[in-house]
Structure formats: structure tokens, C-alpha cells
A and B are shown apart, each in its own frame.
Chain A
Amino acid sequence: MRNITKTFGSTVANENAQLDIYRGEILAILGENGSGKTTLMNMLAGIYYPDSGQIYYDGKEIVIASPGDAFSYGIGMIHQHFKLVNVLSAAENVALGLKEKGRFNIKKVAARIRELCDQYGFELDPEEKIYNMSVSQKQTVEIIKVLYRGADILILDEPTAVLTPQETEKLFRVLRNMRDAGKAVVIITHKMSEVEELSDRVVVLRKGAYVGDVLTKDTNAEEMTNMLVGHKVTLEIVRPEPVNPKPRIEVKDLVVRSEEGILKLKNISFTAKSGEILGIAGVSGNGQKELLEAIAGLQPVESGSIRYIRDDGGSDELVGRDPYDIQRMGVSLSFVPEDRLGMGLVGSMDITENMMLRSYRRGHTFLLDQKKPHSVAEDVVHDLSVNTPNLETPVRRLSGGNVQKVLVGREIASAPKVLLTAYAVRGLDINSSYTIYDLINEQKKQGVAVIYVGEDLDVLLALADRILVLCDGQVSGIVDARETDKYEVGMMMTRLSKKEKEA
């Protein structure tokens, strides 16, 4: 790819970007949010069309105007969000959109899938329905779908974001097999450790432009980060000692059922303390969401109690109250939900209007106070250095990191006593992630009880004071983050240990 430029309106996603992909090599593309990694790859996969620039394949200039064109050159992309039909089986999903001559024969498709599985070391049952599959199995289906179409160049957009360490290892093994079979593999990632472990070569993008291209074995995390950010940064998460921790939230025998009647949380008990970060680890979908929503008053609780312990030692029951009730009780509870634009913010509203969400009820008149939220918005934009054209920009137009800063900024602006965060840095680049860690640490120092649901175990281990591991809606253990390691937690995530009752 040469001199590729792509703009969206006034935003330049890629500017004169270039990239070489070789067969039999795993290439990692590293870049911050909005540095144009995904856009560049989308142009290769035929989703977008470049404004200018050329793409060469085996030395010849080609035009990729549609995903169909991309496939004809053997380029296949596995997106971050899977594009599968839930009610169909794996084989049926693979067969969708195939234009093979002759009668349609699902058995033949399934047989070919089994062949591919054996060849590269996948584990997959082609007859299984998608809705019965785990995230990692769905990802496997996506990869097979691309391989089935004869792809020689596989592009994976942040493939490990949703996997456990064990699943990640498995994926990496498969990718290495593909490389050894002569295919070109491209992975887009933020995670340094993965680049080091998996890739042969790294391309770094910054602000849409190509920064450099190094062999992985000749570089290290420090150097790559410097290339990435453009200046020197230190990769360390500080963990201040908790100051005077006191119980703040006490959860006892909590049972939650989803709307479909599935048991999501089974007898959860734990205590979150002020001035402490309680990390929650677990494969996504094991009850983290329900747990936080239950505390925030958004999830109907079947049985059990959630008590908020006030400074004077008295306590209030939170079960059975909605968020507004909780606010009126004087419980200052902030919640940064997983689905930022779907739940925490209104995408079509601007920053000021989003700041009002928590506070608009203030005042006794019928009319809104728009002045105070405006100054809060100014403060948040300034303090957290939110990158936005102005305060009137709808938040959905901001990049992921900036959206998160707006949300976190609003939630801590109310000086909370309890801060719940779900995947606070998901999809955020290194710089933004560290900003968020700092903000969370700042809250901890001020005596806030922080409950931090995370997916990156390295971060959880470095940031949290204690880690509660959820598995299948149960607490499989609460461990001291200073004394455990990734593999112990990883094992607890997939298997219930006997340590349950300890905490």
C-alpha cells in the first residue's frame, strides 16, 4: 500500500500511509485510538475506498472497491464485532454468501471446515449453533469463514480484546500455524505484550501516518511506545497504599436472574472498602455486568442484599431502588458502564447536555439550568484534555477515548463515594488508558470505594488492591492483587476454586 490517504469530512484518518505485507509473516499494526489502523485495513478489505493512493499486489496495481474485490485477491478481514447469524450453525454461517457452482451441500461445507480445523489446529464443531458458542468459538468461525474463501492475507482487528489468556494462547498457536503455512497474517492491537509475543514485524502508525517498521526481535516495548506516542512515556501503573480503608458496600448472597430467567449471579458476597480498588476479573459475560448494574439499581435482584455503609456507620439497603432513589437517599454512587454510548451517554447530545444527565433535576423550577453544566463541561474538557472541536459537538462524533473521558469526567465530577467502572479502558489507546488509571487512582486517594471490572489481567494486577474473580456467576475467589499472578487468576476465571468462602 502506498501513499494512502483517507479523510472523513475534515478528519484525516490516513495520510500518505504505506504498508508492506509479506507472505509467511505475522505483522502487527500498532497505533493509538484514531491513528487510522482500522481505517487502513478496511481499505485493504474493501470496506472503504481510499481518496488517493495505490495498492499493489505482487507488484501490480489493483483496485479494491468492495469486499468482493478483496476476496478475489485473497484478502479477508476478521472484524472486532462479529458478523454472524446467531440462529444458524457454524457451517451455515460459513456458507452464507458463497457462490459455488453446483448444488448447495452443507455437508460438504462442514467437511471442508473440519479439514481446515485439522490443518491449522482449530477446535470447532461445524454443526453447532452460533448462539451456543463462546466468544472465542465465534471468532474461530469468523476466521474459518475467511480461510474457507481461500484467503492468503488475514487481517484481525483486535482479536484478543474479548479472550481469556488461555484462549489468546490458543489463537496465537493457530495464527503461527497459518504463518508457517505461508499465509500473511496482520493483527491490529494496542497490547504491547502481544506484539512482542506473536509478531515478526511491527508497523507503527501515528495520527494516520506511517511512523516506522521494525522487526519485533530488534525492538522492545519501551521503544515501540515511544514510536507510538511520539515522545517518551513510562509504562508503569502506580498503586498507592489504601488509606484508612473502611467497608463501604456490602454485598450479601446476591442472586440475579436475567429477563430470560437465566441465573446470572449466584450467591455473591463481598465487601468493597473506601480508599481501595476492588478489581473484578472474569471472562466477559460471567456476571460482571449484572453485578455492577445491581449495585447501581438497574438490575432487578431476586434475593440478597446490597448495603451502603455511611461514614457514621449506619447503612442503607440499595436493593429494590432505582438510580434516582439512590441519588435522593444521599448515596453518592457513580457508574461508568460498559456500553458508553448505549447507556452512560446520549450519543446525539453534545458534551454540555451529557453533563446535565446527572444534575438536570436540580432546582425547583420547570426550566433547565444550562449554565452550570456548561461550566462543568468546560472543566472536564480542560482537565482531562478531551479532544473535541467544541462543546456543541455530539459525543458520538468523538473518538472512543474522548467519549470515555467525557463519561468518566462527569461521573467523578459529582464527588462520588462509590465508583463503579466496567471495562473503563476498553478500546482506548495507551495514553488515554493511563489517563483513566490516573483518574481512578486519584479517586481512590480521596477515599472513594472503586469497583473496577477489567479484562486486561496485567492491568488488574497492577492497579487493583484486591481482585474478585467471577466465573459463571459465582465468586471463584478474592485474592490480594499484590500476591497473585496472571495464571492463578486466569485459572480461577475458567474454573471455580475452593477458596470461595475465604473472603
Chain B
Amino acid sequence: MREKVHEPLFHIVKRKSLNWYRAWGIRILAILIAFALDALITTMVTGLNPVGVYGAIFKGSFGTARKFWVLMQNIAILLCVSIAVTPAFKMKFWNVGGEGQILVGALATAACMILLGDLPTAALLPIMIVASIAAGALWGVIPAFFKAYWNTNETLFTLMMNYVATQLVAFFVIVWEVPKGAGQIGIINQSTQNGWFPSIGNNKYLINILVVAALTVFVYFYLRYSKHGYEISVVGGSEKTARYIGIKVEKVIMRTMALSGALCGIAGLLLVAGTNHTVTTSISGGRGFTAVMVAWLAQFNPFAMILTSFLIVFMERGASAISSDFGLNASYADILTGVILFCIIASEFFVNYQLIFRKKERKED
């Protein structure tokens, strides 16, 4: 038997519940700690004044009107993908195929613009919208169908669908390359601008931003107030309970993934018709994966995703700024972003658990 009594310094206890403001307080504190940590690392590693570096990050995002709109446009696209994967995630369907669904949506849009390029924008646009939505939805429904009827693993399936989509785009890039042998499509309909989103005022990104804003509101209400949204929560909460009350689980899985894919398809449409006016295999830029993180950090609340996607895009934009301003390479900004994300994710632990320090109390005798 042991001689001495060693009491553990603290132990971990699950919190019963936490006010929303205290929970957010913890999260904000985590971000502040992250910034302080980042500052410390910056000074130690590079010897630069961290305030200057943060200033550069800020300027890189907000410095000029153009930079600001690029920032907003990037947030919009990332937000669009994030709200797209959210219904699936609420259903506990781990859709990591956002990337592929964006790509096929983009490809469908580009195909319409190239093949029907003679049509005026007013006629072409509806076709592009339908095509991109249909393509994205199809890409979402295929894994959903196999999951619903044969219980295949949706994570692997959607992941594989990404590769298929990438190769499809690669194939058509060669088919439609301009000029032959260039290995890229180039700007589609550059002279006619057929199928391009019109600029509002002088702003060519405003349409993208407005579309995503509307979709965000839609997804919020769909999940929170519609019967479909309720069914998604029930299926996600317990498939058995869903069957118990007679929800056709297969149908809900397929319907939800069609929606998820369709929204990704729209993201593809925005990228091609609104932003890039071309299609490449890297057009989605990993947003299908980043969106998973954005959605998760926001706890699947579409409005909170505005904040989380802002944070991530802001850091990315700032990163490219400091790499040019200070001659630090872009990976350095990734380190800073990594520290911030780590702190945010770790803060969830403190939202759910607390440490209890054992009170020092003396024995009676």
C-alpha cells in the first residue's frame, strides 16, 4: 500500500450547460490568446514587430476598395460552400465531396457558356443556373443513393467522387482548350461576355455576394423552420427514431444530399460566371474541405458561418500580404492561421468541460 497520499491537482468535469454569451466569451478569449501567441511566435522567429505584421495582414484584406471586394467575394464563395455542406452534416452524413460538387457545377456552367455561347446572357443564364444545380445535385445524390440503400461509407465515397470530378474537368479542359495545346480554356466569351454575371453599379462581385446572402438566409430557415429541416435533424439525431415515426430515411438522405450538392453546384456557377469566367481543375481551391471546418466551427449555424468564413478568408488574404511585405513566405501565414484554428478548436473543450481544482480542506481529526 502507498505511504503518501497524492491528490491529483485537478480533474476534468463535463459542464452541464453554459449560457451562450459565456460560451462565446470562451471562444473570443481563445482567438485573443491565439493572436497573442502568434505575436510571440512572430517576434521570436522573425524578430519583426508583431503589431506591424498584424497591420499588414489587416491592410492586405481591407487596404483598398478592390482588396475589400475581393475579400468579400472570397468570403461569399466559402460561405456558399459552407452552407451547402451543412444540411448533410446536420444529418450526420459526412459529405467531404464539396470539392467535386463545386467542380461539376463549374464544369456544367462552363459547358453552357462554351456550347451555347451565341445566346444572349438573358437566355443563357437560366440554362446555366439549371445545369449547374442539376450537375451538383447529381454529384451529391450518387453517394447518397449508395449510402441509403447499401450503407456504403459516405466519407470515402464523396472523397472519391472528388477525384472523378477533377479528372472530368481535366478532360474537358483539353477538349475545349483555347488555343489548341495551351492546356487551358482561358476566359470564356471574353468579347461577348455572354453568360457573365452583370456588374451591379461598378461592382462585378456584388451579384455573387447577394446570391450567397439570400442562400444563407434560405438555408437557415430551411433547417430551423421547415418540415424538411426537422426531418434532417431527426435522421441525424437517431435513424432508428426516424424510422420509428415513419420517416423514410432513404428519401431524406437523398433529398438532403441533392440540396447539398445543388448548393455546391451554385458555388461552381458563381465561380465561373461571376468570378473567373473560366474553369480549371483547381477552381474550387480546396473550399470543399475548408467549408467543413467553417461549418463545424460555427456549430452548423449558417449565420455564425459568416463570422467563421470571414476569419479564415481574412487570414488567408492577410497571409499573402505579409509574404510580400516582409519577405516571409506564405507558409508563415499558414502557421499563424494554424495557431488560431488550434486555439478555436481547443476552446470547444473548455466550452464543454471544466477543470475543477480540488479544494484544500483539512481532515477533521
CB distance A367 to B7 under 8 Å? no
Q: In the complex, A344 Cα to B245 Cα: how many Å?
A: 8
Contact residue among A322, A349, A356, A358 (Cβ-Cβ distance under 8 Å from B237): A349
Q: In the complex, A346 Cα to B234 Cα: how many Å?
A: 7
Q: In the complex, A341 Cα to B241 Cα: how many Å?
A: 8
CB distance A356 to B359 under 8 Å? no
CB distance A360 to B230 under 8 Å? yes
CB nearest neighbor in A for B224? A368
Contact residue among B7, B229, B237 (Cβ-Cβ distance under 8 Å from A63): B7
CB distance B226 to A297 under 8 Å? no
CB distance B227 to A347 under 8 Å? no
Distance to closest chain A CB from B4 (angstroms): 9
CB distance A298 to B245 under 8 Å? no
Q: Which of B205-230 contact A (CB under 8 A)?
A: 225-230
Distance to closest chain B CB from A326 (angstroms): 8
CB distance B233 to A9 under 8 Å? no
Contact residue among B226, B245, B248, B356 (Cβ-Cβ distance under 8 Å from A367): B226
Contact residue among A8, A62, A325, A326 (Cβ-Cβ distance under 8 Å from B5): A62
Q: Which of A45-60 contact B (CB under 8 A)?
A: 49, 51-52, 54, 60
Greatest chain B CB density within 10 A among A9, A65, A325 is at: A9
CB distance B5 to A63 under 8 Å? yes
A-B contact count (CB 8 A): 105
Q: In the complex, A98 Cα to B241 Cα: how many Å?
A: 40
CB distance A9 to B7 under 8 Å? no
Distance to closest chain B CB from A255 (angstroms): 21
A320 CB within 8 Å of chain B: no
Give the chain B neighbours of A62 by CB distance below 8 A: 1-2, 5
Distance to closest chain A CB from B20 (angstroms): 11
CB distance A346 to B241 under 8 Å? yes
Give the chain A neighbours of B226 by CB distance below 8 A: 366-368
CB distance B237 to A325 under 8 Å? no
Q: In the complex, A72 Cα to B17 Cα: how many Å?
A: 36
A337 CB within 8 Å of chain B: yes
CB nearest neighbor in B for A343? B240
Give the chain A neighbours of B1 by CB distance below 8 A: 60, 62, 72-73
CB distance B358 to A8 under 8 Å? no
Q: In the complex, A9 Cα to B353 Cα: how many Å?
A: 9
B297 CB within 8 Å of chain A: no
Q: Which of A333-369 contact B (CB under 8 A)?
A: 335, 337, 339, 341-349, 353, 356-358, 360-361, 366-368
CB distance B245 to A357 under 8 Å? yes
Q: Which of B80-116 contact A (CB under 8 A)?
A: none
CB distance A397 to B16 under 8 Å? yes
CB distance A63 to B6 under 8 Å? yes
Contact residue among A327, A344, A368 (Cβ-Cβ distance under 8 Å from B227): A368
CB distance A343 to B238 under 8 Å? yes
CB nearest neighbor in A for B228? A366
CB nearest neighbor in A for B237? A346
Give the chain B neighbours of A348 by CB distance below 8 A: 233, 237
Give the chain A neighbours of B234 by CB distance below 8 A: 346, 349, 357
Which bucket holds chain B's interface residue count?
A: 35 or more
Q: In the complex, A49 Cα to B14 Cα: how many Å?
A: 13
Contacts A49-B8, A367-B225: A54 and B363 contacting too (C-beta < 8 A)? yes
B246 CB within 8 Å of chain A: yes
Contacts A65-B8, A348-B237, A360-B230: A9 and B13 contacting too (C-beta < 8 A)? yes
Give the chain B neighbours of A49 by CB distance below 8 A: 8, 11
Give the chain A neighbours of B67 by CB distance below 8 A: none
Give the chain A neighbours of B170 by CB distance below 8 A: none
CB distance A323 to B246 under 8 Å? yes
Give the chain A neighbours of B244 by CB distance below 8 A: 296, 298, 323, 335, 337, 343-344
Give the chain A neighbours of B241 by CB distance below 8 A: 342-346, 357
Give the chain B neighbours of A82 by CB distance below 8 A: none
Greatest chain B CB density within 10 A among A73, A342, A393 is at: A342
CB distance A368 to B230 under 8 Å? yes
Q: In the complex, A61 Cα to B4 Cα: how many Å?
A: 9
Q: Mark B240-277, 1 if CB is under 8 A from A, else 0.
A: 11011111100000000000000000000000000000
CB distance A324 to B246 under 8 Å? yes
Contacts A63-B5, A65-B8: A342 and B359 contacting too (C-beta < 8 A)? no
Distance to closest chain B CB from A7 (angstroms): 8
Q: In the complex, A364 Cα to B229 Cα: how many Å?
A: 15
Give the chain A neighbours of B8 by CB distance below 8 A: 49, 63, 65
Contact residue among B13, B243, B248 (Cβ-Cβ distance under 8 Å from A8): B13
CB distance B233 to A353 under 8 Å? yes
Distance to closest chain B CB from A397 (angstroms): 7
Q: In the complex, A366 Cα to B226 Cα: how many Å?
A: 6
Give the chain B neighbours of A52 by CB distance below 8 A: 358-359, 361
A11 CB within 8 Å of chain B: yes
B15 CB within 8 Å of chain A: yes
Q: In the complex, A342 Cα to B234 Cα: how many Å?
A: 11
Distance to closest chain B CB from A320 (angstroms): 14
Contact residue among A357, A358, A397 (Cβ-Cβ distance under 8 Å from B17): A397
A105 CB within 8 Å of chain B: no
CB distance A342 to B227 under 8 Å? no
A10 CB within 8 Å of chain B: yes
Give the chain B neighbours of A73 by CB distance below 8 A: 1
Distance to closest chain B CB from A177 (angstroms): 27
Give the chain B neighbours of A356 by CB distance below 8 A: 230
CB distance A297 to B227 under 8 Å? no
CB distance B6 to A347 under 8 Å? no
Give the chain A neighbours of B363 by CB distance below 8 A: 54, 61
CB nearest neighbor in A for B245? A357
Give the chain B neighbours of A54 by CB distance below 8 A: 363
Q: In the complex, A8 Cα to B356 Cα: how many Å?
A: 10
Q: In the complex, A62 Cα to B5 Cα: how many Å?
A: 6
Distance to closest chain A CB from B49 (angstroms): 43
Distance to closest chain B CB from A209 (angstroms): 18
Q: In the complex, A11 Cα to B14 Cα: how many Å?
A: 11
CB distance A346 to B238 under 8 Å? yes
CB nearest neighbor in B for A359? B245
Give the chain A neighbours of B246 by CB distance below 8 A: 297, 322-327
Give the chain B neighbours of A368 by CB distance below 8 A: 225-227, 229-230
Q: In the complex, A8 Cα to B16 Cα: how many Å?
A: 6
Q: In the complex, A296 Cα to B229 Cα: how many Å?
A: 25
Q: Which residues of B contact A (CB under 8 A)?
A: 1-2, 5-8, 11, 13-17, 225-230, 233-234, 237-238, 240-241, 243-248, 356, 358-359, 361, 363
Can you offer 14 A-B residue contacts whose CB atoms are under 8 A? A10-B16, A52-B359, A62-B1, A63-B7, A324-B245, A324-B248, A342-B241, A343-B241, A343-B244, A344-B241, A347-B238, A348-B233, A348-B237, A397-B17
- Minimum-distance CB pairs A-B, first 7: A9-B16, A324-B246, A346-B237, A323-B246, A343-B240, A49-B11, A357-B245
Supply 19 further A-B pairs (C-beta < 8 A) apart from A360-B230, A366-B226: A8-B13, A8-B14, A9-B13, A10-B17, A51-B359, A60-B1, A63-B5, A65-B8, A72-B1, A322-B248, A324-B245, A324-B247, A335-B244, A341-B238, A343-B241, A344-B244, A361-B227, A368-B229, A393-B17
